[in-house]
Amino acid sequence: MAYMDESPREKLAADIKHAGFYPELVLEVVDDALAGLEPDAHFVQHETHFSRNDLHRHITVMVLCGSQLVLAHLDDSHLEEDAQGTVAHVSVEAVKLSALRAVTISYGYDQPQIYRPGMSPTEVSFQVAWTGSLRIDAAPATCPDPTCTADHGYTGSASLEDIAVRVSATADGPDAVKQARYFARALHRAHMHSDTK
């Protein structure tokens, strides 16, 4: 999204409105969460997914402001007693940058053999950890011998994360990848400097 001469707060509001998911509610929640602080950088992600016969949507807004990371998350669901009714659940959190345990950024590049300096990634993922939440991905271990019937146990990985974001050019568009990269780098830089303040 092109911003021209908008202030950081106007850019944030424009991205929330562009997401189109209860924008007035999200704007009010984020404004309350900022408590008068001015945004330095932000990222807005609106996602839709299906489970069984239900459609689920949610929006996550992350705002870097001074020594704080402010997060707001809103999702909606149908009221159990009223199939036509909807309820929105909102949560907000402010985390001091000095309390962050890890900011991890991963990039994906298509056709790295033709990479040239300055080329944009086709995918950006970042994880932020502050409470020590641990995600474990495990799967049965495999053997390169196709005739082997032995149990090789499990293999997997564990990563610290309280929030994880993945944006790809294919699913979200190249502008979303640029925005995610900009925010992730700004957050990483602010986190690295938070111990020196």
Give the pLDDT band of residue 157 (cuts 50, 70, 90): low
Between 54 and 113, residue with greater pLDDT: 113
Q: Which range (49-53, 122-126, 157-161, 179-183) has the least confidence?
A: 157-161
Domains of the chain: 1-95 (3.10.450), 99-140+153-196 (no CATH)
pTM of the predicted protein model: 0.79
Is the distance from CB of 165 to CB of 125 less than 8 angstroms?
yes
Nearest-angstrom CA–CA distance, 115 and 110: 9
Indicate the helix (H) or strand (E) that contains 15: helix 8-19
- Quick: pLDDT tens for 67-93: 999 999 998 877 766 667 788 889 999
> In Å, how far are 48, 68, 151, 167, 176 from 171, measured between CA atoms?
12, 30, 37, 7, 9
